[in-house]
Amino acid sequence: MGVHPNVHVPKESWPGWTWYAIEFGIVLAISMLVSREVTNSFEGLAPDIQNYVFMGTVGGIFLAWYIGIRGFILKKKILETKY
């Protein structure tokens, strides 16, 4: 059987960069939620120190995902060209 000409193939019509944007949004949301819980677990911190802990945790999760997990474990480049 051949391919029907009216079949929608998402890979050919969906822009590839949007998968990176969706992944970025998911990693950002998860890292901010985890960072909020980590920051709330410390009591007696000044507000400026809380900001450093919050952003440090967000940055640590980003580094862990994009360099550690995605780069070494999954063996995927961060921005891969398809040429």
Instruction: List, for residues 5-30, the tens digit of each pLDDT value.
Output: 666 666 656 677 788 889 899 999 99
The answer as to whether 78 is a domain residue is: no
Domain ranges, residue 68: 14-73
Please give the residue that has the higher pLDDT: either 72 or 58. 58
| Number of domains composing the chain | 1
DSSP state of 75: -
The answer as to whether 31 is a domain residue is: yes
In angstroms, the CA 68 to CA 62 distance is 9
pLDDT category, 82, cuts 50, 70, 90? low
Q: Phi and psi at residue 78, in whole multiples of 5°? A: -70, -55
Residues 33-58 have a mean pLDDT of 93
Lowest mean pLDDT among 6-15, 49-58, 64-73: 6-15
Residues 64-71 have a mean pLDDT of 85
Q: Phi and psi at residue 30, in whole multiples of 5°? A: -65, -45
The answer as to whether 83 is a domain residue is: no
The answer as to whether 82 is a domain residue is: no
Is the model's pTM score more than 0.85? no
> For residues 69 and 10, is the Cβ–Cβ distance under 8 A?
no
State the distance between the two ends of the chain, measured CA to CA, in whole angstroms.
31
The answer as to whether 39 is a domain residue is: yes
Amino acid at site 39: T
Model confidence at 76: pLDDT above 60? yes
The answer as to whether 5 is a domain residue is: no
The answer as to whether 81 is a domain residue is: no
The answer as to whether 8 is a domain residue is: no
